[in-house]
Amino acid sequence: MTSQDEFGGAWTQQKLGALGKYLQAYTTIFKRNPRAQFYSISYVDAFAGTGTLQRPELGRLADLIPEFEPPFDEYVFIEKSAAKCRELRAIAAGQPPRNIKNLNEDANSAILKWCKSFDAGRQRAVVFLDPFGASVKWEVIAALGRTHAVDLWVLFPYSAINRMLVRDRKPPEPWARRLTAVFGTREWEKAFYSTSAFPSLLDSTQRVELIHKSADYPDITDFFIARLKNEFKAVSKPLPLYNSNGSLLFMFFFAAGNKRSAKTGLTIANSIIGGCPSRLRVPRFCAFLRETVHSGMFPCFFAGFLSRFVPSISSA
């Protein structure tokens, strides 16, 4: 994030803490294992911003990547905003000497180009997809998987996706197209929506069909996991990230692209995720209540009653 961005919170630090632990383990393995030293390793942040947070107690993120020892052979930061890209270059200039590339490009387009030039025979990489909203196209994730040499950490925008999945009808076409771009398939309609048929009250020979959302957060998460497994050799359990009200904002996933190293990468990632403090009972309970209310399983009057005691269930 840049100095002009206020978005973020404790969940941001949890996300970056998990990523940082993995990156440290990754560079240690590749730099100290004689067989792994054959490869050049890169770190790619596709939605880089500048990585500075406004609240000092959450830490300074701009310094996170360059401080790793041993370092990556190459760092690639992609940022669409020209102003933010200039800030990135200024930050990089103040870091220890590193091979840092700052690309002022659209992240989706830049990653697709990067994949085409990637030499899987001599290179390995960790790619971090940290979008604002539902802006990562599935074709980008698929292209990274096809390299068979990339470890991916991707932030799945659960809250943004869930808002587009309206409850009493299918999403409007612009939202439907965005959902298809995120999941890479139109099959989300069958997975997330159900149709109920009833005899018409006016004409018993006619039937009325009602479409409603039938998926909750495990269904949506599992669908995304299944999609990732189509492209990668192994996929971690998710790291749920909540705001201070207990609202589920994101799911953070690790996916391993290389068959030989997938087991090791997955073990490390799952160990990191399992130890993250964001897996708290209270936020998860609040999220469960909110999802249950929104799914229609509770009557409206009960939802109002619950909202007095758990305000976060009434949030969008």
In a domain, 223, yes or no: yes
Q: How many domains is the chain built from?
A: 2
In a domain, 202, yes or no: no
Q: Are residues 112 and 260 in the same domain?
A: yes
Q: Are residues 222 and 311 in the same domain?
A: no
In a domain, 200, yes or no: no
Q: Is the pLDDT of residue 101 over 50?
A: yes
Q: Are residues 301 and 243 in the same domain?
A: no
Q: How many other CB atoms sit within 10 Å of the CB of residue 309?
A: 8
pLDDT at residue 87, as a whole number: 81
Q: Is the pLDDT of residue 63 over 60?
A: no
Q: Are residues 222 and 314 in the same domain?
A: no
In a domain, 211, yes or no: no
pLDDT band at 111 (very low <50, low <70, confident <90, very high): very high
Range of the domain at 302: 280-316
Q: Is the pLDDT of residue 5 over 80?
A: no
Lowest mean pLDDT among 54-58, 151-155, 202-206: 54-58
Is the CB of residue 3 less than 8 Å from the CB of residue 90?
Answer: no
Q: Are residues 234 and 298 in the same domain?
A: no
**What is the maximal distance between C-alpha atoms in the chain?**
78
pLDDT at residue 168, as a whole number: 87
Q: Are residues 288 and 244 in the same domain?
A: no
In a domain, 5, yes or no: no
Q: Is the pLDDT of residue 2 over 60?
A: no
Q: Are residues 163 and 15 in the same domain?
A: yes
In a domain, 3, yes or no: no
Q: Are residues 145 and 176 in the same domain?
A: yes
Identify the CATH number of the domain in which residue 107 sits.
3.40.50.150
Write out pLDDT tens, residues 238-292.
Answer: 999 998 888 899 999 999 999 999 999 999 999 999 876 644 444 445 555 555 5
Q: Is the pLDDT of residue 199 over 80?
A: no
pTM summary value: 0.79
Q: Are residues 231 and 266 in the same domain?
A: yes
Q: Are residues 261 and 293 in the same domain?
A: no
Q: Are residues 167 and 302 in the same domain?
A: no
In a domain, 201, yes or no: no
Q: Are residues 154 and 295 in the same domain?
A: no
In a domain, 67, yes or no: yes
Q: Is the pLDDT of residue 13 over 50?
A: yes
